[in-house]
Amino acid sequence: MSDAGRVDGAVIQRLLSQRVTGYEPLSGFAANTIAVVTLESGARAVFKAAAAREVEVELWALRSMSERGVPVPEVIAGEPDAEIPHLVTRLVSGEPGVATLTAASEVGRLLRAVHAVPVEGAGFFKEASGSPPCAGEGTWADQVARLADRLGPVADAGILTSTLLSRCRDLLLDGTRWDQPCVYAHGDFHLRHVLSAGSRIEGIIDWADCGAASPWLDLARMDFREPGLQRAMLDAYFPAGIPADAPSHMANHRLLYMLLALVWEYECGGDWLHERVPGIESALATS
């Protein structure tokens, strides 16, 4: 599923058993295909083809978040057991990103609500067995240690030098400590996955990487370029006051996410792994 052209409008039309009058491929992850389609009803929708487990997890997440009042895309169809596992959601209005203090504060409030969903254990749901929200056994520290081990094959393939591998492992194990229970996390809480219109958050999209993790994974991934916007988000997330160690948590978990994305892409056969290395080196310099 690494090439959007492999699932074109004709294939989507067959899967959905209805006419598709428009098809616009979007860039996605190495292991999935994403396109905006126009259905015969005139509705504009996002079609995503991915691994069955990923579709199952995202379908559960969208329905669960909607029940809790978190703005997410409306599910039109979801078939994890289909010939080509897929999910179809109504296209959300708005533009990727956040441009106002009010919207940034709303992001913090919404993320706090997301993190209040009960979970057990630690790990990403798409990597676990059973029905969500079932994560792996152990703690977040166990998950970080496993990630450090999974970097070995990436280095063996020549993507990371031995020196860079050693620095990454050391910082992962020492700099991302979280000794409290995990929270329900979006897992890829990037600005491009928050759609807004002015000061209003229209929707939070792309929940396939959700799981039980440190809350700092989401907070660090929402990397505002403007300090004022980041402060507004953190003030709303921490109404009793932003912790003094927030900067180090943010820096270290940004690196953790970069390494996690590198491992996922390597393990599913991605082909732009070397392009991630400069960002990892930069994150090491600021952690």
pLDDT digits (tens, 9 = 90+) for 170-198: 888 876 777 788 999 999 999 999 999 99
Mean pLDDT calculated for residue range 194-208:
96
% of residues, the chain, pLDDT over 70: 95
- Asked if pLDDT for residue 2 goes beyond 70, the answer is no
pLDDT band at 4 (very low <50, low <70, confident <90, very high): very low
Strands in the chain per DSSP E:
20-26, 33-39, 44-49, 75-79, 86-90, 95-96, 123-124, 183-185, 194-197, 200-204, 211-213
pLDDT band at 30 (very low <50, low <70, confident <90, very high): low
Of the candidates 53, 96, 59, the one whose C-alpha atom is nearest the C-alpha of residue 74 is: 59
pLDDT digits (tens, 9 = 90+) for 104-157: 999 999 999 999 998 888 999 988 877 777 777 788 888 899 999 999 999 999
For 264, other C-beta atoms within 10 Å of its C-beta total: 18
Mean pLDDT calculated for residue range 236-242:
97
pLDDT digits (tens, 9 = 90+) for 115-128: 999 888 899 998 88
**Encoding tokens for residue 239?**
């109404």
For 77, other C-beta atoms within 10 Å of its C-beta total: 16
Mean pLDDT of all residues in the chain? 89
Q: What is the pLDDT of residue 272?
A: 81
pTM metric for this prediction = 0.90
Mean pLDDT calculated for residue range 268-284:
87
Of the candidates 137, 236, 132, the one whose C-alpha atom is nearest the C-alpha of residue 187 is: 132
Q: What is the pLDDT of residue 13?
A: 85
pLDDT band at 69 (very low <50, low <70, confident <90, very high): very high
Q: Answer whether 151's CB lies under 8 Å from 169's CB.
A: yes
Q: What is the pLDDT of residue 179?
A: 78
Mean pLDDT calculated for residue range 15-28:
84
% of residues, the chain, pLDDT over 90: 63
